[in-house]
Amino acid sequence: MKDIEADIAIIGGGVGGVAAALSALSMGMRCVISEPTDWLGGQLTSQGVPPDENTWIETVGGTARYQRLREIVRASAFADGASARAVEPFGAFNPGGGWVSRCCAEPVRWERAIEQMLGEVGGADARRFTRLMQHEPIGAEMDRDGMRAVTLRDVRSGECVIVRAKVFLDATETGDVLPLARAEYFVGAEHAEVFGELHGRRDFDVREKKLDALDQQACSWCFALEHKAGEDHTIEKPASYEFWRRYAPGIGGGGVGMSPAWTGKLLSWLVPSHNEAGRREFRMVPWPDEPVEGEWEMWRYRRIVDASIWGGRKPDVSLINMVQMDYWQKPLLDVEPGERAAALRGAREQSLSLLYWMQTEAPRHDGKGPGYPGLKLRGEELGTSDGLAKAVYIREPRRLAAMTVVHEGHVGTDQRRAAGLASKAMNWEVTPYGTGERFVDSVGIGHYAIDLHPSCAGRNNVYVPSAPFRVPMGALVPKRVTNLLAAGKCLGVSHIVNGAYRMHHVEWNIGESAGVIAAMMVRDGLSAQAMTQSAQRVRAVQDEVTRQGVRIDWPWER
């Protein structure tokens, strides 16, 4: 069995893992990164999810490196011959012209931009940066409360490699290192009384259990489409299609129930909403037709290629990530491997069933009869042959029981307002969301609504406002394991708050700061806990992340 040694082992090559590698390499560290797919970048690349970001992302809403990544993506579109006409509603050049982000683009373009940035900090030097692509963690060697090594298995050959390091970062999509290292963690939704959360669960007895482990957010298997009007590209009818076309969560058709009940059948343009009516019609108007002015519809919501800027050289391509393909029939976390594999198969089958419905039965915007048979799966932008993303999009991992656990009272607009925090210090006049807890050990910022998708426990979606927030250093640090840090979505947050902290720009910030902390741990020979135990050490971390372009507070908080 092969052994590899490094200063820092980054397990998971998603958004957070990439950012951690960039900051750690820039500080002269020898790093190993592992990734179960053949692309680095996670949400942005292998999962095919255009970035959900915040209002301030073009100026003060992200780290300098994250903002530069976006500019590299934009510049690469120009270099490839795009025109400058694709300007999204907020005034920035948007290569894909999608509405979900100010910088929608093909996953392959994001992947190339990531590789460019890694090359600039020594990522091409095999002596300093080792990649173990298509490897997953299966074991850990512990020495009391310290990690000595992680065992990784090649998903193609089954061969294993042992990685020994001074510090380990969990940047996996599901918090896979936490159980291997015997670090304490949470799975599922806490009862409201655990953290005193306004929107926490209250429908089970907290005296019997503190959380519902089945309440895990749905995963989604994204896919990309072009539209060839007048042609027929209907896929083979999926084996489970009849189940999905009958399924009305909480109403009928079998499957996992739902509370509150869905708006009718799952396969419909009518979906639950956080508006006053509690529902909205979210139809699709495929290219080349145009929606009515001001209409937000699904084709352009996550469009990743805007044909209008390519002079006929590229088709319009839409990335499909709709709530109708959220898979909550089986959980992914803390289940047997066979159950997890069944859940992943189910997610793919549901996505294909949604596509088949759109091709054959969906009401058309132009009233010309059911279905859009011209919808065609497209894999070029996703780096696949079948038009589906390389990996499933996972919203919620295991969550570290960290030294600091961020909960709704720290960031929830409704809860903070109800607590009487509507004072000048909360800056309600600057942002209608107020401001989040001013963690003195902040190593980053972010903002997004608390957005929880339906769960395997049959809990319907939750969508409530959150304040622009900080990322406390303590949320990255375990209570006990001495040389492990969270470097992605598995940081110390409640189930509720995961709905805000799981977004691309926040995960990037978490990883980038974790890379800095890890490098300082290696340099100074300190444990993760020791790094948090003095104001001087915390300030040293903050000085270094700030030097590298990480913002640790919002301008209106100063």
The values of phi and psi at residue 384, to 5°, are -130, 165
Q: Where are the alpha helices (DSSP H) in 274-381?
A: 298-301, 337-360
How far is the C-alpha of 112 from the C-alpha of 118, rounded, in Å?
10
Summarize pLDDT for 469-492 with one digit per residue, the tens.
Answer: 999 999 999 999 999 999 999 999
Residue 35: per-residue pLDDT? 98
Min mean pLDDT across 242-256, 271-285, 409-423, 457-471 is at 409-423
Q: Say whether pLDDT at 425 is over 60.
A: no
Residue 296: per-residue pLDDT? 87
How far is the C-alpha of 428 from the C-alpha of 417, rounded, in Å?
10
Summarize pLDDT for 99-110 with one digit per residue, the tens.
Answer: 999 999 999 999
Nearest to 130 by CA among 100, 164, 90: 164
Summarize pLDDT for 314-342 with one digit per residue, the tens.
Answer: 999 999 999 999 999 999 999 999 999 99
Nearest to 108 by CA among 325, 301, 389: 389
Residue 429: per-residue pLDDT? 62
Summarize pLDDT for 12-67 with one digit per residue, the tens.
Answer: 999 999 999 999 999 999 999 999 999 999 999 999 999 999 999 999 999 999 99
Q: Say whether pLDDT at 424 is over 90.
A: no
Q: Say whether pLDDT at 281 is over 60.
A: yes
- The pLDDT confidence band at residue 90, using thresholds 50, 70 and 90, is low
* % of residues, the chain, pLDDT over 70: 97
Average pLDDT over residues 498-526: 98
Q: 187: Cβ–Cβ under 8 A, 6 or more apart, which residues?
A: 211, 213, 216, 333, 334, 398, 399
Residue 503: per-residue pLDDT? 97
How far is the C-alpha of 42 from the C-alpha of 140, rounded, in Å?
23
- The pLDDT confidence band at residue 426, using thresholds 50, 70 and 90, is low
For the stretch 231-242, what's the b/e string if a residue is b when 16 or more beta carbons lie within 10 angstroms of its beta carbon?
eebbbeebebbe
Q: Say whether pLDDT at 369 is over 80.
A: yes
Question: First vs last Cα of the chain: how many Å apart?
Answer: 53
Asked if 312 contacts 302 with a C-beta cutoff of 8 angstroms, the reply is no
* Domain 2-72+107-186+396-557, CATH: 3.50.50.60
Domain with CATH 3.50.50.60 in the chain: 2-72+107-186+396-557
How far is the C-alpha of 521 from the C-alpha of 275, rounded, in Å?
47
Q: Say whether pLDDT at 96 is over 80.
A: yes
pTM for this prediction? 0.97
Give Cα separations from 495 to 179, 392, 454 (angstroms): 18, 20, 12
Residue 431: per-residue pLDDT? 80
The angle that helices 64-79 and 504-524 make with each other, rounded to 10 degrees, is 120
Residue 428: per-residue pLDDT? 57
Average pLDDT over residues 512-517: 98
Q: Say whether pLDDT at 86 is over 60.
A: no
CA 449, 112, 351, 296 dihedral sign is: positive
